[in-house]
């Protein structure tokens, strides 16, 4: 195995940046890991060891060296609902299913298809997740509204002073001190079990199996989307290129092990990855070191977490949720395109009021539908032909873009209507990069309709990659191929009789 591909390959030149990145991201991850663990119902220890296990294993086996992994808000929303409905064992069983699914997606090289989800849908469900986290943290907020409000303000305002110190860490320390000395509350994190986590295969009730499998699939897809999105951001910042399938295998390994040792599953964490890169992290060492630092903190100082007020953790997550909502992106998209804005808003609302599966599926289908409509609106262009001195009337049209099932019928129907007075119709296919069987059938139908009206249809500019399909579908004959592959100008000259036909 070459140095480039080896899991533990390392370039000593990155040492300083990776050490700084590892320590910095550990500090950023600490309060979030605590908060996500408590919010999920699995406990603070589950959140901490999620950041540790996935931070080490998903980084080692993943496909984005500078990426940092750990529990995130998107996952936590699904985990909260699962815990509330079916309990802790079903929670870990679903996470185990998710990890296995992610490994299979990577092994079967399906990672590239995750990128097919439109950006408008991703923004929409990110918005919805932000709102859901905020709503679900209201219970913690109510344990001490003043303390929670102060924590939220620190989360939102402290970055205006400096971004060198994580706002979540400041909020955690300041909020806890306020809760101890000035705003006391009995709602605390409570005792965190000491020691390393132990292996435990989840045992669940049979009646929860369907929900476990369904939730596992949702968690897997959500983890894939969020991890690959984080990978793209890291690529842009580091001028590198991640390996999608390897990344998903790494995520699956980390999440499978985490779920078997009583920890939450994680994903590629965008904020933590950005912090890592900005601090100088470039290789797997930074992500692994982030996990090791968290392990030391957990083992040596984990007992201190027991005095943290739940209102503070709720405030941290509420502040995180407010910052998750893509206000600027949503406004910009809605201003640029009403249809794209509709997709974002619809996905956001469905995420809040139904679930992530329905939201993503409907948002993707809606995006496809709007794309089909847009393609159909600009597909067919007519070009005027000077027929002076000719005995026949010639009409020329160009199909712009791929001719597929969604627009073929509309375009061909329009061609039939507009070309009914012509003797010869020249259809330029130079700008048609692809055609499917529905498009081929539509071309065949319009050719037959025009022929029944004594109008001849002649093709021009046909690309080689479309010729075989049109021959097999009997749209073209072997004799028609040579003419149909010529440029539009040459075909028009021959039709007008200005050039020889051979």
From 495, 93, 168, select the one nearest 322 (Cα to Cα).
168
Query: For the segment 441-459, what is each residue's pLDDT rounded down to a tens digit?
Result: 989 988 998 888 889 999 9
Q: Which are the contacts of 407, defined by CB distance < 8 A and separation ≥ 6?
A: 372, 375, 376, 379
Q: For residue 277, what pLDDT band results from cuts at 50, 70 and 90?
A: very high
- Beta-bridged to residue 188, according to DSSP, are 309
Q: Is pLDDT above 90 for 58?
A: yes
Same domain for 313 and 183? yes
Same domain for 189 and 309? yes
Domain count across the chain: 2
What pLDDT is recorded for position 21? 93
Residue 193's region, left for phi above 0, alpha for psi from -120 to 50, else beta, is beta
Residue with tokens 């592959």: 485
Same domain for 433 and 289? no
Same domain for 266 and 143? yes
Quick one: how far is CA 60 from the chain centroid? 22
Residue with tokens 């859901």: 132
Residue at which a domain ends, from 299, 326, 353 = 326
Does residue 401 fall inside a structural domain? yes
Query: For the segment 97-147, what is each residue's pLDDT rounded down to a tens digit?
Result: 999 999 999 999 998 888 788 999 999 999 999 999 999 999 999 999 999
What pLDDT is recorded for position 502? 47
Residue at which a domain ends, from 326, 343, 370 = 326
The secondary structure of the chain in percent helix, strand, coil, rounded to multiples of 5, reads: 65, 5, 30
Q: How far is CA 388 from CA 392, 394, 423, 455, in A?
A: 10, 10, 14, 19
Region 73-77: mean pLDDT is 88
Q: For residue 250, what pLDDT band results from cuts at 50, 70 and 90?
A: very high
Same domain for 226 and 125? yes
Query: For the segment 379-395, what is each residue's pLDDT rounded down to a tens digit?
Result: 788 888 888 788 889 99
- The CATH number that applies at residue 479 is 3.30.750.24
Q: For residue 330, what pLDDT band results from cuts at 50, 70 and 90?
A: very high
Same domain for 174 and 319? yes
Query: For the segment 464-481, what is each residue's pLDDT rounded down to a tens digit?
Result: 889 999 999 999 999 999
- Beta-bridged to residue 381, according to DSSP, are 398
Does residue 359 fall inside a structural domain? no
257: tokens are 């092990």
Does residue 236 fall inside a structural domain? yes
Does residue 104 fall inside a structural domain? yes
Q: CA–CA separation, 341 vs 443, rounded Å?
A: 34
How many residues in total does the chain contain? 502
Does residue 280 fall inside a structural domain? yes
Residue at which a domain ends, from 306, 326, 346 = 326
What DSSP line would sit under 258-288, residue for residue?
Answer: HHHTT----EE-HHHHHHHHHHT--SHHHHH
Does residue 333 fall inside a structural domain? no
Same domain for 145 and 43? yes
What pLDDT is recorded for position 1? 43
From 211, 303, 307, 290, select the one nearest 254 (Cα to Cα).
290
What DSSP line would sit under 311-322, residue for residue?
Answer: HHHHHHHHHHHH
Residue with tokens 């600490």: 30
Region 60-77: mean pLDDT is 93
From 187, 147, 193, 190, select the one nearest 171 (Cα to Cα).
147
Residue with tokens 């901490």: 48
3-state SS, residue 402: coil
Does residue 135 fall inside a structural domain? yes
Same domain for 106 and 255? yes
Same domain for 321 and 394? no
Average pLDDT, rounded, for the chain: 89
Does residue 361 fall inside a structural domain? no
What domain range is 471 assigned to?
380-496
Is the alpha carbon torsion for 339, 341, 347, 352 positive or negative? negative
- Residue bearing the bigger pLDDT, 405 or 491: 491
208: tokens are 């929860």
Query: For the segment 158-214, what is each residue's pLDDT rounded down to a tens digit?
Result: 999 998 888 999 999 999 999 999 999 999 998 888 888 999 998 888 888 888 999
Residue with tokens 């298809």: 113
Same domain for 313 and 452? no
Q: Is pLDDT above 70 for 5?
A: no
- Residue bearing the bigger pLDDT, 499 or 262: 262
Half-sphere exposure of residue 76, counting CA atoms within 13 Å on the CB side? Answer: 36
What pLDDT is recorded for position 378? 53
Region 287-302: mean pLDDT is 93
429: tokens are 């296919």
Region 227-233: mean pLDDT is 91
Same domain for 240 and 94? yes
Half-sphere exposure of residue 480, counting CA atoms within 13 Å on the CB side? Answer: 18
Comparing 172-176, 291-295, 436-440, the range with the smallest average pLDDT is 436-440
Same domain for 310 and 187? yes
């Amino acid at each position: 195995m070459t140095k480039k591909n080896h899991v533990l390959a390392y370039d000593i030149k990155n040492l300083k940046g990776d050490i700084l990145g590892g320590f910095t991201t550990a500090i950023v991850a600490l309060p979030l890991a605590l908060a996500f663990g408590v919010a999920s119902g699995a406990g603070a220890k589950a959140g901490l060891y999620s950041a540790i296990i996935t931070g080490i294993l998903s980084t080692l086996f993943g496909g984005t060296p500078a990426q940092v992994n750990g529990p995130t808000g998107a996952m936590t929303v699904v985990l909260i609902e699962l815990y509330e409905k079916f309990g802790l064992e079903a929670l870990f069983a679903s996470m185990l299913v998710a990890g296995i699914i992610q490994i299979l997606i990577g092994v079967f090289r399906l990672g590239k298809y995750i990128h097919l989800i439109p950006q408008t849908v991703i923004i929409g469900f990110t918005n919805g997740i932000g709102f859901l986290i905020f709503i679900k943290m209201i219970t913690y907020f109510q344990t001490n509204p003043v303390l929670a409000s102060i924590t939220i303000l620190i989360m939102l305002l402290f970055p205006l002073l400096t971004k060198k110190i994580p706002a979540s860490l400041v909020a955690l320390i300041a909020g806890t001190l306020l809760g101890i000395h000035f705003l006391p509350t009995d709602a605390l994190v409570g005792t965190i079990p000491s020691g390393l986590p132990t292996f435990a295969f989840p045992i669940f009730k049979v009646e929860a199996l369907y929900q476990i499998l369904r939730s596992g699939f949702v968690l897997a897809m959500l983890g894939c989307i969020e991890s690959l999105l984080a990978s793209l951001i890291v690529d842009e910042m580091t001028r590198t290129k991640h390996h999608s399938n390897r990344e998903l295998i790494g995520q699956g390994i980390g999440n499978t092990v985490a779920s078997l040792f009583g920890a939450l599953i994680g994903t590629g964490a965008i904020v933590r990855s950005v912090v890592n890169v900005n601090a100088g992290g470039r290789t797997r060492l930074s992500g692994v070191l982030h996990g090791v630092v968290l392990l030391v903190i957990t083992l040596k100082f984990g007992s201190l977490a027991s005095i943290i007020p739940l209102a503070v953790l709720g405030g941290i997550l509420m502040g995180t949720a407010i910052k998750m909502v893509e206000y600027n992106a949503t406004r910009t998209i809605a201003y640029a395109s009403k249809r794209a804005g509709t997709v974002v808003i619809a996905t956001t609302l469905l995420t809040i009021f139904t679930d992530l599966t329905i939201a993503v599926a409907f948002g993707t289908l809606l995006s496809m539908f709007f794309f089909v409509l847009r393609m159909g609106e600009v597909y067919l262009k007519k070009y005027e032909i000077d027929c002076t001195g000719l005995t026949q009337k010639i009409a020329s049209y160009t199909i712009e873009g791929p001719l597929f099932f969604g627009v073929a019928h509309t375009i061909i129907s329009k061609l039939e209507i507009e070309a009914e007075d012509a003797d010869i119709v020249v259809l330029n296919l130079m700008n048609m990069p692809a055609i499917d069987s529905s498009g081929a059938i539509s071309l065949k139908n319009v050719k037959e309709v025009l022929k029944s009206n004594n109008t001849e249809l002649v093709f021009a500019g046909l690309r080689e990659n479309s010729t075989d399909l049109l021959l097999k579908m009997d749209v073209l004959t072997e004799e028609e191929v040579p003419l149909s592959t010529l440029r539009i100008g040459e075909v028009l000259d021959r039709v007008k009789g200005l050039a020889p036909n051979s």
